[in-house]
A and B are shown apart, each in its own frame.
Chain A
Amino acid sequence: MSAEKMLSVKDLHVYYGQIHAIKGIDFEVEQNEIVTLIGANGAGKTTILHTISGLIPAKEGEIKFCGNNLTAMAAHNVTKLGLSHVPEGRHVFSEMTVLENLEMGAYTRKDRSKISEDLDFIFTRLPRLKERRKQNAGTLSGGEQQMLAIGRAYMAKPKMMLLDEPTMGLSPLLVGEIFEIIKLVNQMGVTILLVEQNAKLALEISNRAYVLETGRMVMNGLSKDLLNDERVKDAYLGG
């Protein structure tokens, strides 16, 4: 419980109307880590990410990020602190161009020269986005939209990125490509909290993992240990 934890969540409770979706969870993410949350559909993974980024309110508990209390903070202020959220289903602005989407990612920044450097970086690493920068994001393929969603979050120059199901609905080839991009983002100094259906890949890429079942954390540990854990194998890795 030292002070240098980048993100710490303590005794978090979240309700959806009458439904007690998150029932008192604790977890932490340290700087430069990749941490993954695994769990079945409806376990509460997306709810946790939405609560951290301020899209839904917490009922009880505390969320701290780099010394700031996020618990009752509005979503747009959370983003300003350096925490970017890539939502499930990508949510690119489909009626806006690829370039405009990336500009929206940098909405809170004022350092114009650094913004264009970061834009160049994204276009160098993701040349398909560069080719299509004048096209509306809605015309991109699913994989390209996911790249754009991650690139857009990167444009905020975040300290930490929350990634929600980044490979959902993508072909195996693209899944590999997206995971390479996630690793690259992490190498650029961005701490990552990853929610992923593909538990095997998520455990392979991450340092640590938490296992979530119906709103409670039931296990946690180093990802390489969880990969060999019989219970995790049975429940999430297809035996």
Chain B
Amino acid sequence: MDIFILQLINGLSLGSIYALVALGYSMVYGIVKLINFAHGDIIMVSCFTMYTAMEIAGLPLLVSIPLTLILTAVLGIIIEKLAYDRLISKGVERISLLITAIGVSIFLQSTFQLIFKADSLRYQAFLPSKTISLFGIEPSLKSVVTIIVSLVLMLALTLFVKLTKVGKAMRAASEDASAAKLMGINTSNVVAFTFAIGSLLAAVAGILYFESYPRIEPYMGGMLGLKAFVAAVIGGIGSIPGAMAGGLILGVAEAMTVSIGLSSYSDAVVFGILIIMLVLKPSGLFGKNIREKV
């Protein structure tokens, strides 16, 4: 039983990282119907920023973390303004946005490969690798910190979207962009802001993930980003609680698969859940029925 709970905690830890990344996919999709395939690479950029700040510039941890978060959020805005903004305001086909996103992804990967070379770099974890005692079980400190930080951020995001004026504008733009414009909402700024929040959450996810898996290389965003995207689809893309739930489900499923000794099948389980979901409820756990807008 203890082993089960321990694995559950590991799963929730991994799942909360998927959830943080999935939120970025889902919120952006909710507003501009764009699957931002460069989102996974944002994680990679945040890790290299963290690496540069800590290992190359030698900055202290308490400077490196905020610096990484801010730079990553700003990068999100820059990408949106340079690559997507004009396409969105021209109302181009969705496929053009998607191809642009793939282009941004390749650009980021290649740029970082050019600067840092293709070999993986070791990254000095800052949290000690020890376990803590919690109600008679001994989970790793890293897992517990990851879960707590993620939950706090998810709660903060939920309250932000529910209660603040900007958050309400995000919901309005997500539901009906034209009507939101008629309210005087500058939807282009709302989209840029959504990219900033999504990138910030991805940066947090990146920093937490590479506490446990401290090797970074320019293509590392691919698989993590893909799994988070799967989490967003399982939860119902466009839905904030859906992204959270989808992430946690995937993380726990993956950890459980590993714990029963089938670790080489963990990716198969993740994508298997996706296939089952797409057959049973294509709109996802929290997804709404797709309604055509006039």
Contacts and interface: CB of A to CB of B under 8 A. Distances in A.
A89 B176 CA distance: 12
Nearest to B165: A107
A56 B84 CA distance: 20
A76 interface: yes
Interface of B: 165, 168-169, 171-172, 175-176, 178-187, 294
B187 A96 contact: no
Contact of B169 (A55, A92, A107): A107
A76 B178 contact: no
Interface in A143-180: 152-153, 156
A93 B184 contact: no
Contacts of A94: 175
A223 interface: no
Contacts of B165: 103, 107
Contact of A104 (B169, B186, B187, B294): B169
B178 A91 contact: yes
A95 interface: yes
A235 B180 CA distance: 36
Interface stretch (A5-13, A32-40, A58-66, A79-87): A79-87
Contacts of A76: 181, 183-187
B168 A103 contact: yes
A108 B175 contact: no
Interface in A181-238: none
A29 to B, nearest CB: 18
A76 B183 CA distance: 7
A53 interface: yes
Given A89-B294, A91-B176, A96 B182 contact: no
Label chain A's interface by main secondary structure.
Answer: loop
Give the 5 A-B CB pairs with smallest separation, nearest first.
A108-B184, A79-B184, A75-B181, A91-B179, A107-B183
Nearest to B89: A74
Contacts, number: 67
Contacts of A84: 182
A214 to B, nearest CB: 21
A26 interface: no
A44 interface: no
27 contacts: A55-B181, A74-B181, A75-B182, A76-B185, A76-B187, A79-B181, A79-B182, A85-B182, A87-B179, A88-B294, A91-B182, A93-B171, A93-B172, A93-B179, A94-B175, A96-B172, A96-B175, A103-B165, A104-B172, A104-B180, A104-B183, A104-B185, A107-B185, A108-B183, A108-B184, A153-B182, A156-B184
A84 B183 CA distance: 8
A87 B171 contact: no
A87 B181 CA distance: 11
A105 B33 CA distance: 24
Contacts of A54: 181
A155 to B, nearest CB: 9
Nearest to A137: B175
A203 to B, nearest CB: 26
A30 interface: no
Given A96-B172, A104-B185, 18 more contacts: A54-B181, A55-B182, A75-B181, A79-B181, A79-B182, A87-B179, A87-B182, A91-B176, A92-B179, A95-B175, A96-B168, A103-B165, A104-B169, A104-B183, A107-B169, A107-B184, A108-B183, A152-B183
Contacts of A107: 165, 169, 183-185
Contacts of A105: 183
Contacts of B187: 76
B207 to A, nearest CB: 33
B171 A80 contact: no
A156 B181 contact: no
